[in-house]
Amino acid sequence: MWNVFYKELLEVLRDKRTLMFMLLMPAVIFPALTFGYIKLASDKAQQEGTRELRYALVASDGAPLLRAVLEASPLLKPVPAATEEAAVAGIRAKQIDFALIYGAGGERAILAGQQPQLSLRYDTAIVFDSVGKRIKPLLSATYTDKLRSERLAVLGVAQGASASLSEPFTLQVSSTASDRQEQGEKIGAMIPYLLFTMGLFASIAVAIDMGAGEKERGTMESLLLLPLSRASLVVPKFLVILCAAAISGGIGITSMGICASYVLGNAGGELNAITRYIQLPELLMLGLLILPAYAMVSALLLSISFYARSHKEAASYSQQTMIMVFLPIMASMLPGMKLGDGWSLVPIINTSLAIKEVVKGTITVADYASVFASTLAVAGLLLALSVYWCKREEVLFRS
């Protein structure tokens, strides 16, 4: 059996394309793409956050208080517009970024005790809502406070009493969660996605060649002539696929960790805090959790490779398998998903939730063992399925 293992391993090492998926992509390409995207997104967000916004103010009374607030705010430039239609046309022509349009009466109506409508008009079909992030807080805080003070002054309320009327109490919010739990909840959900992605790409490239590739090369018959049981032929192939996934995942998470330590270390603040929580014990726990998941995916891909008629068909099935893996990972990010609700027995979802709990430092021994055992059991069943297809000669030699 081990001779078959060595033979398959040597074939993998001779295949430059497979080596690229197994070594180069997790070590270089994934970190470069990930942190390159983070840097680009950060730069673009900073540019949008500091861009000068052009606005139009349409109000029957001129809205002097609102005009004063806008003029006192940096990076806001007024553009004249006589009517609401002219302001909307300016937005559509990209001459204006947003328009503030008062209903009948404007600020005079507010000071008279009425509640007119103030409309914020702008193009919301954008990824980064710089107008909303900058103008909405300005209206809800600074401008609202100014209007409230003016209204209370009209009613004859003393300056000292107006503060207690507008804000009768101060709210203090304190979390019972530790800093590690908060950061783990935010960042821990992305770690399963990265681990599965890096392991899956390597295992797909190797698995397709183990079954479908052998068929196309005509070497499957030579293997079947060996004095070995079908299980003794399948297990070495499975181990090679598992090794490829584990090596790729290990290299990838190490490379990502080094890059994250450098990037987040320079960033400082709460982003840097998460790097203190993933130390050697956490890395070992993550490795033990992801290994049965890699075994499960490797066995599934091997069974697909044996079942497929050709290399092309196996590649098509494997791509659909990626969706089957990523959808549960996305489901584990939904609100309210917890291991204690029975999800510890659901493949992929249980591993994703457990990894997040490890990062948060809240995983229990019972949940950890349940996830490990259930995933290992599913991997065993899928490996048995691979052996079953290998025993079916009408499947192996169909055309």
Instruction: Answer whether residue 344 is part of any domain.
Output: yes
247 shares a domain with 343: yes
Q: Which pair of tokens denotes residue 21?
A: 């998926």
Last residue of a domain, one of 166, 199, 224: 166
Kindly state whether residues 145 and 110 are assigned to the same domain. yes
Q: Which residues pair with 67 in a beta bridge?
A: none
185 and 325, same domain (yes or no): yes
Cα separation of 398 and 313, whole Å?
Answer: 13
Which of 7, 98, 100 shows the shortest CA–CA distance to 58? 100
Q: What is the mean pLDDT of the chain?
A: 82
Residues 217 and 362 in one domain: yes
Whether the Cβ atoms of residue 74 and residue 51 lie closer than 8 Å to each other: no
Query: 103 and 27, same structural domain?
Result: no
- Burial (CB < 10 A; 0-12, 13-18, 19+), residue 135, is buried
pLDDT above 80: residue 97: yes
* Residue where a domain terminates, one of 166, 201, 227: 166
> What 3-state class would DSSP assign to 54?
strand
Q: What is the DSSP letter of 343?
A: G
Degrees to nearest 5, angle at CA 196 with 127 and 190: 40
The one-letter code for the residue type at 270 is: E
In a domain, 124, yes or no: yes
- Identify the bridge partners of residue 53 per DSSP, sorted by sequence position: 76
Give mean pLDDT, residues 110-134.
87
Q: CA 361 to CA 180: how far, in whole Å?
A: 7
In whole angstroms, what is the distance from residue 67 CA to residue 3 CA? Answer: 82
**121, containing H or E segment:** strand 118-122
User: Please, what sign has the CA dihedral across residues 219, 220, 225, 228?
Assistant: positive
pLDDT of residue 71: 92
Greater confidence (90 vs 202) lies with: 90
Residues 158, 195 within the same domain? no
Report the pLDDT averaged over residues 288-297.
91
Confidence of residue 118 (pLDDT cuts 50, 70, 90): very high
* 130: pLDDT strictly greater than 90: no
Q: Is this prediction's pTM over 0.75? A: no
| pLDDT attached to residue 238 | 92
Domain-embedded: residue 189: yes
- As given in the structure block, the two tokens for residue 161 are 């009493």
pLDDT exceeds cutoff 50 at 23 = yes
Q: Are strands 76-78 and 53-58 parallel, antiparallel or unpaired?
A: parallel
Measured in whole angstroms, how far is the alpha carbon of residue 389 from the centre of its chain? 36
Same domain, yes or no: 98 and 228: no
Q: Is residue 72 pLDDT above 70, yes or no? A: yes
What percent of the chain lies above the pLDDT cut of 90?
A: 22
* pLDDT confidence of residue 269: 47
pLDDT in tens, 363-372: 889 899 999 9
Over 80: is that where the pLDDT of 125 sits? yes
Q: What is the pLDDT of residue 379?
A: 94
Whose CA is closest to 104, among 113, 114, 91? 114
Asked whether residue 8 is domain-assigned, the answer is yes
Range of the domain at 202: 2-41+179-396
Choosing from 108, 132, 166, the residue where a domain stops is: 166
- pLDDT exceeds cutoff 80 at 26: no
* pLDDT given at position 96: 93
Same structural domain, 198 and 331: yes
* Residues 385, 276 share a domain: yes
Short-list 388, 390, 396, 201, CA closest to 298: 201
Tens-digit pLDDT profile for residues 203-256: 888 888 888 888 877 777 777 778 888 888 889 899 999 988 888 888 877 777
How many domains does the chain contain in total?
Answer: 2
Same domain assignment for residues 136 and 272: no
The whole-number average pLDDT for the span 290-316 is: 88
- Evaluate if residue 270 carries a pLDDT over 50: no
Around 370, how many Cα atoms within 13 Å sit in the side-chain half-sphere? 17
Q: What is the CATH number of the domain that holds 62?
A: 3.40.1710.10
* Cα distances (Å, whole numbers) of residue 4 to 222, 234, 254, 299, 387: 12, 9, 30, 17, 15
Comparing 103-117, 232-246, 254-268, the range with the smallest average pLDDT is 254-268
> What letter would DSSP give residue 27?
I
128 and 193 part of one domain: no
* Paired strand residues for 58: 101
In a domain, 187, yes or no: yes
pLDDT of residue 120 exceeding 90, the answer is yes
Q: Is 171 domain-assigned?
A: no
Q: Which of 333, 306, 344, 304 is nearest to 321 (CA)?
A: 304
**Averaged pLDDT, 294-322:** 87
Q: What percent of the chain has pLDDT over 70?
A: 84
Q: What is the DSSP letter of 23?
A: I
Cβ contact 121:135 at 8 Å: no
Q: Name the burial class of residue 25, with classes exposed (0-12), middle (13-18) and buried (19+) by CB atoms within 10 angstroms of its CB.
A: buried
Long-range contact set of residues 395-399: C-beta below 8 Å, sequence gap at least 24 = 395/306, 395/307, 396/215, 396/220, 396/224, 396/306, 397/215, 397/220, 398/309, 399/309
Position 384 confidence tier, pLDDT thresholds 50, 70, 90: very high
Whether residues 67 and 21 fall in one domain? no
Rounded to the nearest angstrom, the gap between the alpha carbon of residue 73 and the centroid of all alpha carbons in its chain is 35
Q: Tell me if 47 is assigned to some domain.
A: no
Asked whether the CA dihedral 86, 143, 65, 106 is positive or negative, the reply is: positive
pLDDT for 266 beyond 60: no
Any domain includes 384:
yes
Are the C-beta atoms of 184 and 274 separated by less than 8 Å? yes
Phi-psi region for residue 106, left (φ > 0), alpha (ψ -120 to 50) or beta? left
Residues 187, 278 contacting (CB under 8 angstroms): no
